Structure 1
Amino acid sequence: MGKPRVLVVGAGFAGFHCLRGLEKALPADDAELVVVNPADHMLYVPLLPEVAGGTLDPRRVAVPLRPGLPRTRLVLAHATSVDLDARTCTAVDVEGRSQELNWDRLVLTAGSVTRLMSVPGVAEHALGFKSVAEAVYLRDHVLRQIELAEQDGDPARTTFVVVGAGYTGTELVAQGQRLAEAAARNRKVPPIRWVLVDLAPRVLPGLDERLSGPALKVLRSRGVDVRLETTVSEVTATCAKLSDGTEVPTKTAVWCVGVRPDPLVESFGLPTVRGRLAVGTDLTVPGHPHVFAAGDVAAVPDVFNGGDPTPMTAQHAERQGKLAAHNVAASLGHGTPRQYRHRDLGFVVDLAGGQAVANPLHVPLTGWPAKVVARGYHLLAMPGNRVRVAADWLTGLLTRRQVVQFGLVPAAGVRLGDADRVDAGRG
């Protein structure tokens, strides 16, 4: 019969840590490990705003899979469908070639995609922010608009609108504002203006309230126009129309509203909770004891929050991935299953420069103490590239922020409508 095959779909936080755990828990002769992923790296998403802000090289947030997972076979492709009865998974690569993979244990960790809402013009004119390509394009775009504004004096070019004041949007505005100010130094351009819009009554609505006030104070002290309890009603090529009737002339609208589970979830026809696969606290899919799910695709009951699904955060995804590895190994005769139990350890939000907010172990910090905690947390949480990231940060303390644009990423594919079509093709 050969060795049982454990197939992991997706190599984000949950998938990567699941595979790393499996390589430690299972002897080499006991199982074959295979991962289906469209890229040869794990993306450390929390540092994408620093890529867009020009403080980190894009390669720093891409952790290579092969050196980190030497026993795992990588299938560079998108998983398009899974047959639970036949125990097969169909994967399609970038050249359109399809292959069918058998499995004895399946771990679904496909992650999430940008949540595209039915706001007129968003798909056509807004930029996404969930990949290295989108972060690099946005950095180049901001610098390009400032160059062009020096030539034509159009204030719409130096006005940047970010929709969504959650973790990503707040950090992106902080980093982008610093990048734009550095690029505009000693230039005759219209005033730099960043507008942050969110329907919530405060920034960072999903995090501790003790982080929201200091973060808002930092942003507004830098001149960021924060519009709360407001949303975008329409986006055009030259304007963002807000729900309060305001029209903001701009050539840059970035969509950071939220994410939804990978469309692959919809193909299963299994029970879901808020669009995520319903699973037990042992991460198995009910009725399918050989199928596990973790991370953003899984509605894992939070025993510390009345059984509601755990938030879609990297912290939960990483720990669920580790538990999935333990329970898959247990199903193959190595150990005993465990249940998912994890209390949030707190969050960190880097606001660029010497500013940050953090609540490690729920102790609120601001300024440089929070900055040290934030960077220390990321260095500990990253499964690779730590020395390179630390070197970039050290260089940033000693030199000015680089404001070079390369134009390597085309506009096609980074618009939200293009990205959504790519994602939908995976389902």
Structure 2
Amino acid sequence: MITVTRPRILVVGAGFAGVGCVRRLERKLSPDEAEITLVTPSSYQLYLPLLPQVASGVLTPQSIAVSLRRSRRYRTRIIPGGAIGVDLASKVCVIRTITDKLLNEPYDYIVLAPGSITRTFDIPGLTDNAYGMKTLAEAAYLRDHVISQLDLADASQDPDERAARLQFVVVGGGYAGTETAACLQMLTHNAVKRYPRLDPKLIKWHLIDIAPRLMPELGEKLGTDAQEILRRRGVEISLGVSIAKAGPEEVTFTDGRVIPTRTLIWTAGVVASPLIATLGAETVRGRLAVTAEMNLPGHDGVFALGDAAAVPDTAKDEEGAVCPPTAQHAMRQGKVVADNVIAALRDQPLRPYRHKDLGLVVDLGGRDAVSKPLGVELKGLPAMAVARGYHWSALRTNVAKTRVMTNWLLNAVAGDDFVRTGFQSRTPAKLKDFEFVHAYMTPEELRAQVDGKGAAGAAEGTAE
């Protein structure tokens, strides 16, 4: 008796790229055509661009965590864990589940969308003392932490301690860092009115970046406008400067300044997931080198996209240009990769990815924003309307859109909420606690895992 098994499609990562791919596969493939499996530690898609608004309390965490199980067409098997190695020759992905169990997951087609991690440097004390802004837990923790600094400063009798707790340092002048500094500065500015013992002038926010200007992709005019908005609010901006050393109670800048602080927020860019390094394939600045069709040369059935892949930007005439790691590209790449997986499944030609950038939006909190939709430069209320309109329309479900819009309206009418939840008060939330960079396998460990348990993993996959 011959048993015919369905082709197995394995998607790694539930970001914009991975979820976009899975949803399209579910719509365009019949249940009999393929088995779809998604690997992700959490069964939700996080809308990353709105994390600063979660950190500042404008939005609740649940509002930007979109459940993967709400779709009516949902039939994807979700493995709760992270991929820590891929053996391309054996077509096996090694997964560490959230209970630390190792699984060998065989596949016929694999879509690699593991995203990125925070880029760090060999700076003494950085990973031990800095907070990140890449996950929902980090954003929620950071909000609690900032409010707790106000509480502790208010209670302290030591003027030096009070001053240190009311100084905040954000490293990174890109979108994430600028929006984080802007939104959290507004939170502390509004919150201090409820602390009559604190002098508002003691609250100081520092935004630093090694680049010569903030958000250079916006252009000189809008970048300057953003700087002026932040400086008008009292944010001290230092460009051409980075961190030389980070301690639990002070930060040393590369220009020699020492800032007493209990809050260092690190948002200085991202790098591709360490999973890419386990493949032994060619990379471009750490991102997997793929074709315009987003498949890996020399390996049938292997596709990669999003932050972890250097997808050629065919909309630009510039030789060697690759798509930037933005949500705008990731969402669209997910759909094209799904179509190409289906085309490979059906022995049809693949199509290249092509998308012209629609522009950039930066929400600075309140009525402040700068945007550049389709090359048109905007600031103030028009820019805020464009920024929030874009984010709102990009949310995947009507439930998420309703929650976000309700939060925005409530915040506009009732103002900020300064409740410190305390849910994570005993949980570490520094960079070293969230990146898990040492969880990935070396080539030798990967080979041993596949050789030792590959048969059992294949049997499990067939049984399912």
TM range (shorter): over 0.9
**In the TM superposition, what is the alpha-carbon distance from 1:102 to its structure 2 partner?**
1.5
Query: Corresponding residue for 1:346?
Result: 359
Query: Structure 1 residue 155 and structure 2 residue 163: aligned?
Result: yes
Choose which of 360, 364, 369 in structure 1 pairs with 2:382: 369
What whole-Å deviation, never above 9, does each CA across 1:46-68 have from its counterpart, x for those lacking one? 00000000100000110111113
Aligned length: 426
Matches within 5 A, 1:322-401: 322-333=335-346, 336-384=349-397, 385-401=400-416
Structure 1 residues 119 and 411: CA distance shift in structure 2, 3 A: farther
Task: Decide which structure has the larger Cα Rg and report it.
Answer: 2
> What letter matches 1:140 in structure 2?
D
Out of 209, 214, 239, the residue aligned to residue 220 of structure 2 is: 209
CA–CA distance in structure 1, aligned partners of residues 438 and 134 of structure 2: 15
**Matched-pair contact (CA < 8 Å) for 2:81–2:96:** yes
Q: Within 2, Cα distance between the matches of 1:39 and 1:234?
A: 34
Shift of 1:180: 0.7
Match of 2:28 among 25, 30, 33: 25
8 Å CA contact 1:78, 1:426 repeated in 2 = no
CA distance in 2, matches of 1:165, 1:211: 13
Distance 1:110 1:146 in 2: 37
- Residue pair 2:218, 2:372 contacting (<8 A) in 1 also: no
Contact 1:119 1:233 in 2 (8 A): yes
Percent identity, aligned pairs only, is 44
Distance in 2 of aligned mates of 1:310 and 1:402: 38
Provide the C-alpha distance between the structure 2 equivalents of 1:370 and 1:270, rounded to a whole number of angstroms: 42
Check the 8 A contact 1:25/1:334 in 2, yes or no: no
* Counterpart for residue 56 of structure 1: 59
Structure 2 counterpart of 1:83: 87
2-structure distance, mates of 1:86, 1:410: 44
Deviating more after overlay: 252-261 vs 21-30: 21-30
Could you say what secondary structure the match of 1:387 adopts? Answer: helix
Aligned position for 2:453: none
Distance 1:410 1:186 in 2: 22
Deviation at 1:316, TM superposition (A): 1.3
Equivalences for 1:275-294 in 2 at 5 Å? 275-294=286-305
Unaligned runs of 5+ in 1: none
Within 5 Å, which residues of 2 pair with 1:172-321? 172-187=180-195, 188-190=197-199, 191-303=202-314, 304=316, 305-321=318-334
Aligned match of 2:430 in 390, 412, 415? Answer: 415
- 2:438 counterpart of 1:424: yes
Gap regions ≥5 residues in structure 2: 442-464
User: How many angstroms apart in 2 are the aligned matches of 1:50 and 1:344?
Assistant: 24
8 Å Cα contact 2:123/2:245 also seen in 1: yes
In 2 relative to 1, CA 41–426 (structure 1 residues): closer, same or farther, beyond 3 Å? farther
Task: String of CA shifts for 1:351-376, please: whole Å, max 9, x gaps.
Answer: 00011111111101100001111111
C-alpha contact 2:245 2:252 (8 A) present in aligned 1: yes
Distance 1:334 1:21, change over 3 A: farther
Report how far residue 306 of structure 1 moved. Answer: 2.3
CA contact (8 A) 1:412 1:418 kept: no
Distance in 1 of aligned mates of 2:128 and 2:355: 40
TM-score with structure 1 setting the length: 0.97
- Given the alignment, which residue of 109, 112, 131 partners 1:105? 109
What is the CA-CA distance between 1:147 and the residue it aligns to?
Answer: 0.7
Please state whether the residue corresponding to 1:374 is helix, strand or coil. Answer: helix
Partner SS, residue 359 of structure 1: strand
Q: Residues 296-333 of structure 1, C-alpha deviation per residue, up to 9 Å, x if partnerless?
A: 11011112142322111111111111110111111111
CA distance in structure 1 between the aligned counterparts of 2:420 and 2:413, rounded to whole angstroms: 21
